[in-house]
Amino acid sequence: MIAFLKNNTSPTQIAELQLFLSQKGFESHLVQNQNICLIPSLLDSTILNTFSFIETTKIIDTAFQLSSNQYKKELNFQVKGVQMGTNYANIIAGPCSVESEAQIFETAAFLNKLGVKFIRGGAYKPRTSPYSFRGLGKEGLRLLSEAAKQYDLRVVTELMDLSLLDEVMAHADILQIGSRNMANFFMLSELGKINKPIMLKRGMQAKVNEWLLAADYILSGGNENLILCERGIRSFDPMSRNVMDIGVIPLIQSLSHLPIIADPSHGTGDAKWVPTMAKASMVAGANGLMIEIHPNPSKALSDSKQALSFDAFEKFLADFELLKNTIQKPIDATYSMAV
């Protein structure tokens, strides 16, 4: 259940409510700056009738309270003037890693020419092997944000650890939380306190309810601007890097108001399949795509096999245009799709 409190509710009144709930055996959680109190296990609102400062209540019969579409039907917000959310779809593109000034500026210029508004790039890279290229760190963030500023792009980059939060916040417009950190619940709770949009990637072995509960960690801290990203799940089959779970897109949309985008680069692990799975994801209803591109994929220092060349990406966008009449949501020239 969610209790919506009146705007003039005092801290004393909130403390009185929470003490009452505790004595009744119910856990409660106050969402900062939103005047709501979460009482997840309470299904009978009549016991709250004596509290005059409660404006209304809403019973939500799922474990994930704030990410449920029973709480809210849609979510739309702006990132430096560009609309994102459940009524829009955006393309985010760029290299897996920021490798050099020439590489990232060439990529930014290319995206600007095509009208793409978001650039991705890793400055700190989580790698399975400690001997693989792990990014340029602070210098990578600087290069990424300078290229974005010059070419009017918005930066999407990964936060690997809370110790890097201030550093990444200074350069990023959207903070990406990678698959490995989806279950880092302390980090997610802290991200609920910041005022930057978050992209939460699905854990490589995560069930849907686990993913949405991870989203609730962020939402319950007060940060509502959250995007989910399907990036493939691990399977037993060595023939593919991951299983690209396109079926999860309409499933999430039946359960949650949160926008969901697809990452077919990680989802397939092979550039040959990225355009096909990207288009399939959009037809399934995705609110956007994140695609890895590189000026020279064979020379990429990380995930070279899954990066599209500039020519392949430009061809994909041309093919994408042909989908306009088969997708119910029209796409404008900036690749920001509005209902």
Query: What pLDDT is attached to residue 130?
Result: 82
The DSSP symbol for 226 reads E
CA-based torsion, 290, 292, 294, 300: positive or negative: positive
pLDDT of residue 327: 63
Alpha carbon 58 to chain centroid, angstroms: 26
Q: What is the pLDDT of residues 180-232, one digit of tens each?
A: 999 999 999 999 999 999 999 999 999 999 999 999 999 999 999 999 999 99
pLDDT given at position 333: 37
Q: What is the pLDDT of residues 24-38, one digit of tens each?
A: 999 999 998 889 999
Phi first, then psi, for residue 86 (nearest 5°) are -75, -15
- The size of the chain, in residues, is 339
pLDDT single digits (tens) 241-263: 899 999 999 999 999 999 999 99
Residues of the chain with confidence (pLDDT) below 50: 328-339
- Which residues make Cβ contacts (< 8 Å) with residue 26, sequence separation at least 6? 39, 41, 42
Contact between residue 141 and residue 155 where contact means Cβ atoms under 8 Å apart: no
Assigned token pair, 270: 């092979």
CA distance 331 to 339: 9
Give the integer Cα–Cα distance in Å for 172 and 192. 16
Would you state the pLDDT for residue 331? 41
In degrees and rounded to multiples of 5, residue 117 shows phi and psi of: -105, -10
Q: Is the pTM higher than 0.85?
A: yes
Adjacent-strand bridge partners of 5:
54
Q: What are the C-alpha distances in Å from 112 to residues 71, 93, 146, 316?
A: 37, 11, 14, 16
What are residue 230's phi and psi, to 5 degrees?
-85, 120
Quote the pLDDT of residue 337: 43
Q: With contact defined as beta carbons under 8 Å apart, do 171 and 136 qualify?
A: no
